[in-house]
Amino acid sequence: MKTKLIISLAIALCSLSSYATGKGTVCVESKFEVPVDAWQVAESLNSLGLPEQYFSEKHSFTVEMTKKSCAVSDGQGSLNETPLPDFASEGDTRTITQEHNAWVNEWQQNYSGGSWVTMRFTRWRKHDV
CA distance 14 to 20: 20
CA distance 30 to 13: 7
**Model confidence pLDDT, tens digit, residues 107-122:** 999 999 988 899 999 9
- The 8 Å CB, 24+ separation contacts for 116-119 are 116/44, 116/88, 117/44, 117/47, 118/44, 118/45, 118/46, 118/47, 118/48, 118/50
**Model confidence pLDDT, tens digit, residues 43-97:** 888 767 766 678 888 888 999 998 887 777 665 555 555 555 557 888 899 999 9
- The pTM for the full model equals 0.65
CA distance 75 to 36: 39
